[in-house]
Amino acid sequence: MREHFAYVQGMWTRLEERAGIAVVNPTDERVIGVAAAGSANDVTRAVRAASRAFREWAGLPVAERAEFLRAIADGLQDRIDEIAALITAEVGTPLAISQRIQAGLPIASFRAAADLVGEVEWSAELGNSLVLKEPLGVVGAITPWNYPLHQVAAKVSAALAAGCTVVVKPSELAPFSALLLAEVADEVGLPPGVLNVVPGDGITGEALVAHELVDVVSFTGSPATGRRIGELAARAPKPVLLELGGKSASVLLDGLSEETEQAALADAVKSCLLNSGQTCTALTRLVVPRDRLDAALSTVGDLMDQYPAGDPTEPTTKLGPLVSQRQYDSVIAHIESAIDSGAKLAHGGPVRYPELPRGYFVRPTVLVAGSSADPIAREEVFGPVLTVLAHDGEDDAVRIANDSEYGLSGAVWSEDRDRAIAVARRIRAGQIDICGGKFNPLAPFGGVKRSGFGRELGSYGIEEFLHTKSLQC
């Protein structure tokens, strides 16, 4: 059983000031370890360590920082099976997906940061000015549980590449993969204080955000917590990068061939059910031509039946549990409230699988909303729930897609690629897939509106941890 340690100043420290937090396997509801609950004093030690390490780390040649990032990527690659199994135990992601995404993407993030940091324009002449890019300083990174190592790696790799030092507060529901990253960083000889990991809860996170030596905060999580972080950071003030979720629409335009329509519906279902719906970019709104609504519902129901739920360590399982009892209760409440409010239940529902009496399993569910104003068409459920809406033409489809407080991602399908791009330009979101376009880990990732601001991944993620200085000569 894993225990409650933190990694500070290149050393492993057992935290005793506050009681540890039990980490539960969502498949069998058994405790797999006890995570630290870092106190304000623990956070202060970590932030001071990062502050002391900053000047030397920022002063290293870019090529040397890149070599450390490559070494970390290699170390994670050597432990990819362990990482995948650990996150499957923490979160419930089916093992095959854990290996490809939960373990694979963090490795890609470190390699990409190492490759791209050399392309940063660190200085440029502008008239009589010398314009410089410099690291912001100490980064406070607060990360979620749904992709626990990927979200840590996206922030840490970019921040370290930029020359910043980092204190990570991972989610109390899935903290152990962040500590595994610290193990790898320690093994490759990353200088003490450059990366620090202090597990904990909201108390830990607030102490990190408010600390006077933290120069910038990067957060991924709920809008409510994001607002609180913004309030605390504004007192300094200090910059904040926020990624706060979404309610993304997959828009099917009229005139689709049968083949394209089938591909679009399969893509929407796959996206909606990835990681049991616990994905911020999940396509959880399906917007279809009104005359194709019944056909789409029939197809979507058949597709969802192809995602068997069960033990995520089994190769046949495509749908694991939700992460916690609290998340299970929240998703069930959303489904029941939608039905009570008049939404049509087209598939699934709030009934447990009789063959899965333990674990936080929710059936893939399809609800038909009468309007984009319905709560189920507006609220982020964060579970395997797809809301279907009918549109009456291209302008109406765009209206529905934009009728949301969120703006993280989306998709547009048309037989005419140029038409799809034109419609995508009208949709307010940070990234939109065109006719099945695949995820690009080098492209900027982030949202607008209630989905937050700032960008992660690729060179764009590195730029977020730099500030611009001008010297007039």
Instruction: Quick: pLDDT tens for 70-95.
Output: 999 999 999 999 999 999 999 999 99
CA-based nearest residue to 209, from 247, 175, 169 = 169
* Token pair belonging to 157: 């790799």
Mean pLDDT of 41-54: 97
467, β-bridge pairs: 134
Whether the full predicted model's pTM is greater than 0.85, yes or no, is yes
Each residue's pLDDT tens digit, 109-130: 999 999 999 999 999 999 999 9
Query: In CATH, which superfamily holds the domain spanning 248-441?
Result: Aldehyde Dehydrogenase; Chain A, domain 2 (3.40.309.10)
Mean pLDDT of 416-431: 98
Query: How would residue 1 be classed by pLDDT, with cut points 50, 70 and 90?
Result: low
Query: In CATH, which superfamily holds the domain spanning 5-244+451-472?
Result: Aldehyde Dehydrogenase; Chain A, domain 1 (3.40.605.10)
If 0-12 CB within 10 Å is exposed, 13-18 middle and 19+ buried, where does residue 444 land?
middle
Give catalytic residue positions.
Answer: 243, 280
Domain ranges of the chain: 5-244+451-472, 248-441
Q: Give the pLDDT of residue 227.
A: 95
Mean pLDDT of the chain: 97
Query: How would residue 19 be classed by pLDDT, with cut points 50, 70 and 90?
Result: confident
